[in-house]
Amino acid sequence: MDNLQIKDSLDLISEVNHLPVFIFSADKKLIFEANKEIYPAFLAQGFLNSADLMEASQNPRILLLGEYEEYYVFPTSFAQEKKCYCLIGPAFLGKPNQDGEERLLSFASFIPKPSLTSIIANIDTFISSSFAQLVSLIRLLLTGKFIPPWKILEIAEKNLTPSFEEIQQTIEDRFSEGKQKYNYDQEQQALQAVREGRTAEAEKLARFFNHGRFGVLSANPNKDALYLCICLITLVTRAAMQGGLNPAVAYAMSDEYILKLDEAENATSYVAISQAFIGEITKKVHDSKRKNMNYSEAISRSVDYIQNNLASELSMEKAAKDSGFSYRYFSRLFKKEVKMTFSQFVKKERIERAKNALAYTTQSEAEISFALGFANPSYFIKTFRKVVGETPFAYRERILKEGTLAKEKN
């Protein structure tokens, strides 16, 4: 591939993914900037003034700058330059909101305010896995050497969290344990889905209870399934009430479905009845929450989209398009009804889900971070501390201590 093709490819990657890419000589002279009409060289100035380009490139890794920005630097050759450096970024870990936080960006002082707003709008928010995939592609394009995204991520986090292999092994161990014995984490995650009215996720609870993880409740297989489904309905009923469902409604539904179990004749019927109960009562929790919030149909769908996809990259552009409104109108409507911006609501929901995971499961901070779509564990910890006022570790310790004291008092 010749230099012109490489430049065209970098321009395309930058344009499609809304990601700035720069190449500098060893003396920091700009050699190439992808989509320079959209991403001026000033974007790189904050990084160049705050970090050592050569030092960063000697140990290539994802670098965090401030609260919102991530970069990646690596040595390469380009055009006639034998020794130069490719700077990928800034990419955003999270978008600054509109109350002045954009001035916290490293490059803000180099760009006029009107241009700054436009530039921020043209740079996407990335979770680390997506950013690592693009880094891997650009490195392959410029150096001819492939470094898999997981390796880039592992290097980025090796001093902050367990390696990806360790996290993967932990998850595999839990699944292995789950085939033999009760798994409290999975139960609590599923019950939280009921409390929050997330129907599709709550239905996983029935599958979880149907995997033989609880020993044998009866020598008779049909009775064993019946007793298990009664336990399931009892747990789900309590979770629904904790989620705000009127206790009279919850108990009435529970009685109705337990009577259906009593009239059924085999394990297959018991499972089908319990699954139907989970779907119906979780939908009632969902509808009850939405009724209390008085959201319009469009905003209610958007809130569902957020709550059901916290592990993914959430896009207000997609939410606006799905609602049938323009981006600008949808943004105003969302803030008017929800009383906060789209990005602020996403952050709030992720933190609330994280608090629940810390309180009710044994998941590590890294696992919670990846499960909830945070860019990386260090950003999760920083965001959690900013919102809650303490680190995830301190929050979990306090909640566990308070729970222990409450039990002792009782």
CATH number for the domain spanning 355: value is: 1.10.10.60
| Same domain? 141 vs 187 | no
| Same domain? 223 vs 151 | no
Q: Please give the backbone phi and psi of residue 389, each rounded to the nearest 5 degrees, phi first.
A: 95, 5
Which of these three, 157, 172, 193, is where a domain ends?
157
Residue whose pair of structure tokens reads 């020993």 in the numeric block: 215
Q: What is the pLDDT of residue 230?
A: 85
| Same domain? 237 vs 361 | yes
Q: How many Cβ atoms sit within 10 Å of the Cβ of residue 322?
A: 14
Q: What is the pLDDT of residue 174?
A: 40
- List the CATH number of the domain containing 31: 3.30.450
Classify residue 336: in a domain, yes or no.
yes
Q: 295 — alpha (psi -120 to 50), left (phi > 0) or beta?
A: beta
| Same domain? 194 vs 90 | no
Classify residue 287: in a domain, yes or no.
yes
| Same domain? 262 vs 405 | yes
Confidence (pTM): 0.49
| Same domain? 47 vs 138 | yes
Classify residue 91: in a domain, yes or no.
yes
| Same domain? 296 vs 351 | yes
CA angle, residues 136, 137, 138, in degrees to nearest 5: 95
Classify residue 168: in a domain, yes or no.
no
* 162 preceded by a cis bond (ω within 30 of 0): no
DSSP 252-302: HHHHHHHHHHHH--SHHHHHHHHHHHHHHHHHHHHHHHHHHHT--HHHHHH
Which residues span the domain enclosing 50?
Answer: 3-157
Q: How large is the greatest C-alpha to C-alpha distance in the chain, in angstroms?
A: 81
Q: Please give the backbone phi and psi of residue 200, each rounded to the nearest 5 degrees, phi first.
A: -60, -40
Which of these three, 124, 157, 190, is where a domain ends?
157
Per residue in 179-230, pLDDT (tens digit) is: 444 456 667 777 888 888 887 777 665 565 554 445 556 677 778 778 888 8
C-alpha distances out from residue 181 to 13, 207, 225, 284, Å: 47, 15, 16, 31
Positions in the chain whose pLDDT score sits under 70: 1, 50-52, 97-101, 113-114, 154-186, 203-218, 292, 403-410
| Same domain? 130 vs 189 | no
DSSP 179-192: TTS--HHHHHHHHH
Q: What is the pLDDT of residue 216?
A: 59
Classify residue 173: in a domain, yes or no.
no
Q: What is the pLDDT of residue 345?
A: 92
Q: What is the identity of the amino acid at 123? A: I
| Same domain? 266 vs 309 | yes
| Same domain? 136 vs 34 | yes
CA distance 43 to 123: 11
Q: What is the pLDDT of residue 138?
A: 92
How many structural domains compose the chain? Answer: 2
Classify residue 201: in a domain, yes or no.
yes
Classify residue 351: in a domain, yes or no.
yes
Closest CA to 61 of 69, 52, 70, 50: 70
